[in-house]
């Protein structure tokens, strides 16, 4: 594998963790998986977003920073392959959607203190699926607190990612249009993704329809 640090990203229910696990096993890489289930404010956020958004986002920010900082602090020393199922800037993207302007300004100040201490991924793999496909995935995996998520919210999150991509011309970003594949249950589809990840990319956006 040409890249030592790969991040898998995507909207809610896109299959980030599933793909990261499969890639980790295939490439014998160290896995960093988000511990979202430990966030006590997340179920409350889906019930009352306005009241619990700041608490939920702040918990995620601290948790993601601690995990990435601990797992990646010796990254360059050992030169180990590492795959994560989230990028740290995810906290900023979601907070821009979920917080009020005043809350976001405070959140952004805290984020800006942490951000320089973490490395950028060598390759960011973004699983892009239609909102209809994502909603089917969310219903299929059956997390109760996610069932109320709206199409409009998913579209806002999607747009937040693509706005971020436009601001990162020096980052290598591979966008996989994944509506027509099943990389979990179809080994041939997973092999297609592996072949794409093994290629060398120039900085910028690279969109592939699978």
Q: What pLDDT does residue 202 have?
A: 97
Provide the percentage of residues in the chain whose pLDDT is more than 90. 84
Instruction: Assess whether 48 carries a catalytic annotation.
Output: no
Arithmetic mean of pLDDT, 79-105: 95
**10 Å Cβ neighbour count for 162?**
12
How, if at all, do strands 30-32 and 123-128 pair? unpaired
With the C-alpha atoms ordered 80, 81, 85, 90, is the resulting torsion angle positive or negative? Answer: positive
Containing structural domain, residue 23:
5-209
User: Is 80 exposed, middle or buried (CB count within 10 Å of its CB: 0-12, 13-18, 19+)?
Assistant: middle
Residue 76, pLDDT score = 58
Q: With 70 as the cut, is the pLDDT of residue 171 above it?
A: yes
Q: Active-site residue among 85, 122, 179, 182?
A: 85
Domain count, the chain: 1
Is-contact 27 122, C-beta < 8 A?
Answer: no
CATH number, position 65: 3.40.50.300
Which SS3 state, helix, strand or coil, does residue 186 take? coil
Q: How far apart are CA 4 and CA 72, in angstroms?
A: 11
Q: Return d(Cα 53, Cα 41) in angstroms, integer.
A: 8
> Which of 84, 108, 72, 101 has its CA nearest to residue 33?
84
Region of poorest pLDDT, from 6-20, 145-159, 193-207: 145-159
Q: What is the pTM of this model?
A: 0.93
pLDDT, tens digit (0-9, with 9 covering 90-100), for 186-195: 999 999 999 9
Q: Give pLDDT tens digits for 134-168.
A: 999 898 887 777 788 899 999 999 999 999 999 99
Residue-wise pLDDT for 32-55, tens only, equals 999 887 899 999 998 999 999 999
């Amino acid at each position: 594998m040409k890249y030592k640090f790969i991040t898998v990203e995507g909207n809610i229910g896109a299959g980030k963790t599933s793909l990261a696990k499969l890639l980790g096993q295939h490439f014998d890489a160290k896995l960093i998986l988000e511990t979202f289930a430990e966030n006590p404010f997340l179920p409350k956020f889906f019930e009352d977003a306005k009241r619990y958004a700041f608490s939920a986002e702040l918990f995620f920010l601290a948790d993601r920073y601690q995990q990435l900082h601990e797992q990646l602090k010796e990254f360059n020393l050992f030169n180990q392959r590492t795959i994560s199922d989230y990028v740290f800037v995810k906290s900023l993207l979601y907070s821009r959607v979920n917080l009020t302007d005043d809350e976001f300004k405070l959140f952004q100040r805290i984020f800006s203190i942490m951000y320089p201490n973490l490395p950028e991924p060598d390759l960011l793999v973004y699983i892009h699926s239609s909102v209809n496909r994502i909603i089917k995935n969310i219903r299929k995996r059956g997390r109760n607190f996610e069932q109320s998520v709206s199409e409009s919210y998913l579209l806002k999150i999607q747009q937040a990612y693509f706005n971020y991509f436009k601001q990162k011309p020096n980052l290598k970003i591979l966008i996989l249009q994944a509506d027509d594949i099943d990389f979990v249950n179809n080994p041939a589809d997973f092999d297609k993704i592996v072949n794409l990840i093994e290629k060398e990319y120039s900085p910028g956006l690279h969109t592939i329809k699978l």
